[in-house]
Amino acid sequence: MRVIGADGQQLGIMSSQAALRLAEESELDLVKISPTAVPPVCKIMDYGKFKFEQGKKEKESRRNQKMVEIKEVRLSMTIDTNDLNVKSRQAQKFLEAGNKVMVSIRLRGRQNAHASMGVDVMHAFFDTLEGKAVMDKKPASEGRNITMLLSPAKQ
C-alpha cells in the first residue's frame, strides 16, 4: 500500500505490517484514505482528531444550507382583478425571499365542469408576476384542485 506520513509527505509503497509499525512508532493511527486505488492509499494520522474535524466540516455545511420552503397561495375561480393583484404581491414577497410558491384553486360544485376557466385564472395570475417567477409545473387539474408551482426567476 502507498503510505503518506503525518506531515503529508509520501513515504512510498510498503507492506501493511511496515506501515502499521511506522504508525505505532509515532503513536498515531493508520487510516485507509482511498481503499479502491491501486495500490490502496493510507495515511498516518490521529483518527480521533480526523473524525472531529470531519464532523465540524459537516456541521458547517449543514448550517450554510438554505432550506427552500413551499408557500401556498389560494385563489378562487371567480376572483376579482384587485384581489388577484393582492395575491400576486403576496406571492412576489415569497419569491423574493427565495421560496417556491404553490398556487391552487379549489373547484366547488358546477365549477368542476369549467376547469378550463380556472386554468385561465392561473395564467392571468402568472402574467401579473411580470417575469419574477418561473413556472416549474404548469397548471394541472387534479381532481377538485388546479395547482401550479412557481419558483423565483434568476436575475
Query: Taking 80 as the threshold, does the pLDDT of residue 68 lie above it?
Result: no
Contact 134, 95 (CB under 8 A): no
Is there a contact between 101 and 73 (Cβ–Cβ < 8 Å)?
yes
Q: Please give the radius of gyration of the chain, using alpha carbons only, rounded to the nearest integer.
A: 29
- Using DSSP's 3-state secondary structure scheme, residue 77 falls into coil
- Which residue(s) pair with 134 in the sheet? 151
pLDDT of 67 higher than 80: no
Element (H, E) at 50: helix 47-64
Q: What is the pLDDT of residues 70-88, one digit of tens each?
A: 999 999 988 899 999 999 9
Using one digit for the tens of pLDDT, what is the confidence trace for 26-54?
889 998 888 898 889 999 999 898 899 99
Distance CA 152, CA 131 (A): 9
Beta strand segments in 20-130, E: 29-34, 41-45, 70-75, 100-106
Give the pLDDT confidence of 133-149 residue by residue, as tens digits. 899 999 988 888 999 99
Flag whether pLDDT at 90 surpasses 90. Answer: yes
Name the residue among 54, 62, 88, 55 with its Cα closest to residue 74: 88
Q: What percent of the chain has pLDDT over 70?
A: 99
Mean pLDDT within 60-69: 81
The pTM is what?
0.58
**101-131 pLDDT, tens digit each:** 999 999 888 888 888 888 899 999 999 988 8
CATH classification of 2-63 is 3.30.230.70, yes or no? no
The domains of the chain are located at: 2-63, 70-152
Burial class (CB in 10 A: 0-12, 13-18, 19+), 76: middle
What per-residue confidence (pLDDT) applies to 52? Answer: 92
Cα separation, 53 vs 60, whole angstroms: 11
pLDDT at 19 over 80: yes
Is the domain spanning 70-152 CATH 1.10.340.30? The answer is: no
pLDDT of residue 127: 92
